[in-house]
Amino acid sequence: MDIDVNTQLCAVIGNPVRHSLSPLIHNTAFRVLGLNYVYLAFEVEDLEACLKGMRALGGFRGLSVTIPHKENIIKYLDELDSVTQKIKSANTVINENGKLIGTNTDGEGTIRAFERAGVKLEGKNILFLGAGGAVRAVAFAFADKVSPQKITILGRTPERLQKLISDLRLNFPYTVINYGFLSKDYKTLVESHDIIIQGTPIGMEGHSEDVLNFPFECLNSNHAVLDMVYRPLETELIKEARKRGAVTIVGTEMLIEQAGIQFELWTGYKPPLNEMRKALEIALSKSNTQS
Ligand code: NAP
């Protein structure tokens, strides 16, 4: 990659950010298509100053936004699409000549991951485990775009869960939205839902003290299961679901699809998803062998 006076800059901002795989994914895509872009990672504390700088720099085209800035960034942006306005959290910024446009690609990325796996979401009963930022983005996108029959969200902290449920019900009064708690037995819920989306960090490397208590025996070939966790590449939930004939979608598929949407927004080109996926899987399998 030759960097010159025309090189466009994209970056991920967060704190911490050194673990991010986004530079690898996006730089791979720029290289494959021969685009004059480069993608860096910036640890940011002062978000307002960061965005002022971005606005002022002509060649600064786009941002990925990660923890802890996804919610705070909203107030510094000039425009948001309608779902992002409802979610109140953005993971992507596009700089259109100094105008900063925010969007959230996690929801659409997840929809695309299901489409790629051949799973229809329309009219389905969808069960989310977790009530954090990622589940919020995906649940809003599902309610907005795929007409599910029912959405059920299982959380841990009552206030956070109830806030999410009341925001969803307020914005989508015609969608059936239920909730429950991860600490309770949720066998019958697994049986009565078609799509299961695991959105807690349980199962992630470094979280071995936390257990999901998932009733694996209730899974069958009518289920489709997505685990947002992608370190390790295949979680216990994914392995158990596959054993029982369910369609399984690993967390890297969501990550790649949402990155692909960002890539297209910044460059106008279709993302080379296969090469992006391959680079990500090689990096993750290397880090697996090292740990
Ligand atoms: P978050 O905002 O911190 O939310 C995490 C959720 O999990 C919260 O509801 C939290 O409950 C719950 N939780 C955490 N530990 C738990 C435990 N031991 N038992 C029960 N519930 C627990 O995080 P996030 O941004 O939504 O991310 C969630 C996961 O998805 C992370 O592993 C992240 O890496 C992954 N993710 C993947 C992608 C992808 O592209 N594949 C994208 C985004 C996120 P409380 O509310 O009680 O804290």
Mean pLDDT of the chain: 95
Domain 107-249 coded CATH 3.40.50.720: yes
Q: How far is CA 239 from the centre of its chain?
A: 21
Reported as a single tens digit per residue, the pLDDT across 142-182 is 999 999 999 999 999 999 999 999 999 999 999 999 999 99
- Average the pLDDT over 258-263 and give the result: 98
Pocket test for ligand 1, best of 87, 110, 129, 156 (most atoms within 8 A of CB): 156
Domain boundaries, the chain: 8-104+256-290, 107-249
Give residue for tokens 């991010």. Answer: 20
Q: 94 alpha carbon to ligand 1 midpoint, in Å?
A: 26
CB 129 within 8 A of CB 196: yes
Reported as a single tens digit per residue, the pLDDT across 34-61 is 999 999 999 999 999 999 999 999 899 9
Reported as a single tens digit per residue, the pLDDT across 77-122 is 999 999 999 999 999 999 999 999 999 999 999 999 999 999 999 9
CATH of 8-104+256-290, one of 3.50.50.60, 3.30.470.160, 3.30.830.10, 3.40.50.10860: 3.40.50.10860
Reported as a single tens digit per residue, the pLDDT across 231-241 is 999 999 999 99
Residue 229 has what pLDDT?
95
Q: 154 alpha carbon to ligand 1 midpoint, in Å?
A: 12
Cβ of 258 below 6 Å from ligand 1 = yes
Cβ of 169 below 6 Å from ligand 1 = no
Q: How many C-beta atoms surround the C-beta of residue 48 within 10 A?
A: 11
- Report DSSP state, residue 132: S
Ligand 1 atom index nearest CA of 137: 26
Alpha-carbon Rg of the chain, whole angstroms? 19
0.75 surpassed by pTM: yes
